[in-house]
Amino acid sequence: MAHSADQAPVPRRFARSGPLTGTIRVPGDKSISHRALMLSALCVGQSRISGLLEGEDVLATAAAMRAMGAQIERGADGIWTVHGVGVGGLMQPAQALDMGNSGTSTRLLMGLVASHPITAMFTGDASLSRRPMARVTDPLGEMGAEFNASPGGTLPLMVRGISPAVPISYRLPVASAQVKSAILLAALNTPGTTTVIEPVATRDHSEKMLKGFGADLTVETDADGVRHIHVTGPCDLTAQDIEVPGDPSSAAFFIVAALIVPGSDLTIENVGMNVTRTGIITVLEQMGGQIERLNARTVGGEPVADLRVRASALSGITVDPAIVPSMVDEFPVFFIAAAMASGTTVTSGLDELRVKESDRLATMARGLEAIGVDVEEREDGLVITGSGGASLRGGGPVATLLDHRIAMSFAVAGLASEQGVNVDDTAPIATSFPDFLNLLDRSTGAA
């Protein structure tokens, strides 16, 4: 199941490669995959999901929904079918729900459980068990759910749901799609109208999908640009056929690789282009990256396009902190692009990166230093002076601290390095992108 600290590490050296060429597809979007399983499990009837990301995080969500009564099966054709229990129909799980490394599964499922009359114990791996949960348990507690957490508000954590729960109006103190989504999911089985007030817009997959499944959801934007999201429950959800677009967070590793490896011309098909997720493309284009959107279309309410990426001379920029929520997961690989650019790249407003799978600011700063990059770590960001397109020195080993995105980012750095880059553990990559290493070898001609 989930990769954990007690599994043997799988080190690997990533060496300089030829150009990335041809056409690839990245796995299904992780955020949408989680939500597709959860919402399908709350419908009456059968939903079908194609393109589901089959990484460990999403499989943890599937296992949890099965434990609470949904029937979930994967067909030989790769299409998943879900027979749901209906809103209000979640059953008491017989044992603890093991979330592995998945913060999204944990926080969203706490929202689901909070408004059902069941009790669930959430456990996770060493990395997940360090991550803060109070940001979710505080608002859900206002709705009437009870929580017994480990010291510091972390996993293992027991949730006692309540039905009927109490509708609340909650202003997000920190931009977080997970907190917003947890409250909206709790609202599905709560009589009355629950409101989430979102001062800074975050990814809106939950709102789009809840509407698609038939929830009574409205969004208003006030004069100050603040979003007010209302759900009136209890809701009946209608089973759907869902096609999951490719994950822009996974595509980001190949976008950066193609930009920094000379001679590359790579097409990445079927990438989700939801504007709340494409900040990485915006900033790479600001740096001079050639990224062409082809065949733009809408799939299941989500915008999708094929991306043609060509090797480009990048220039350092100062990243506007306002764009952070739309690329929060892509900063590790963005820092690799910055390391190859001309001049200095300055980032700020990245406090959230300190509470991800690892402290991503500190972990990336140490790793960049280990491969010869000029980097300054500040309280809320990194300042990177790039190589001007010259190959990175390389070396290592880089410590990934069980963080899948750190491992993939330094794999990309190795492709544009003199000595190659030694990554201490590639096993965590399976949490979000099981086929990453094969796809990387194939697109660089190493396979």
Q: Is there a binding annotation on residue 178?
A: yes
pLDDT in tens, 396-410: 999 999 999 999 999
Alpha carbon 226 to its chain centroid, in Å, reads 23
The pLDDT score that the predictor gives to residue 447 is 65
Angle between helices 30-41 and 177-187 (to 10 degrees): 10
Q: Is there a binding annotation on residue 293?
A: no
Q: What is the pLDDT along the chain (447 residues), one digit of tens a residue?
A: 344 455 799 999 999 999 999 999 999 999 999 999 999 999 999 999 999 999 899 999 999 999 999 999 999 999 999 999 999 999 999 999 999 999 999 999 999 999 999 999 999 999 899 998 999 999 999 999 999 999 999 999 999 999 999 999 999 998 899 999 999 999 999 999 999 999 988 889 999 999 999 999 999 999 999 999 999 999 999 999 999 999 999 999 999 999 999 999 999 999 999 999 999 999 999 999 999 999 999 876 789 999 999 999 999 999 999 999 899 999 999 999 999 999 999 999 999 899 888 899 999 999 999 999 999 999 999 999 999 999 999 999 999 999 999 999 999 999 999 999 999 999 999 888 999 999 999 999 876
The pLDDT score that the predictor gives to residue 356 is 84
State the catalytic residue, choosing from 98, 306, 329, 424.
329
The pLDDT score that the predictor gives to residue 6 is 56
The pLDDT score that the predictor gives to residue 376 is 98
Q: Is there a binding annotation on residue 35?
A: yes
The pLDDT score that the predictor gives to residue 431 is 85
- Report the distance separating Cα 257 and Cα 301, nearest Å: 29
Q: Which domains does the chain have, with CATH numbers?
A: 12-28+245-443 (3.65.10.10), 30-240 (3.65.10.10)
Q: Is there a binding annotation on residue 381?
A: no
Give the sheet arrangement for strand 241-243, strand by strand: 71-74, 80-85, 44-50, 241-243
Q: Is there a binding annotation on residue 180?
A: no
Residue 329 is a catalytic residue: yes
Give buried/exposed letters for 48-61 (b at 16+ CB in 10 A, else e): bbbbbbbbbbbbbb
Cis peptide before 164 (omega within 30 of 0): yes
Give buried/exposed letters for 62-74 (b at 16+ CB in 10 A, else e): bbbbbbbbbebee
What is the value of pTM for the model shown?
0.82
Is residue 251 a contact partner of residue 207, using CB atoms and an 8 Å limit? no
Q: Is there a binding annotation on residue 160?
A: no
The pLDDT score that the predictor gives to residue 432 is 83
Q: Is there a binding annotation on residue 131?
A: yes
Among 142, 253, 278, 135, residue whose Cα is nearest residue 203: 278
The pLDDT score that the predictor gives to residue 296 is 97
The pLDDT score that the predictor gives to residue 110 is 98
Spatial neighbors of 116 by CB under 8 A, at least 6 apart, are 88, 90, 161, 163, 189
Is residue 44 a contact partner of residue 71, using CB atoms and an 8 Å limit? no
Residue 384's alpha-carbon distances to 41, 99, 294, 340, 369, in angstroms, are 45, 35, 32, 10, 10
Q: Is there a binding annotation on residue 12?
A: no
- Report the distance separating Cα 109 and Cα 68, nearest Å: 11
Q: Is there a binding annotation on residue 181?
A: no
Q: Is there a binding annotation on residue 30?
A: yes
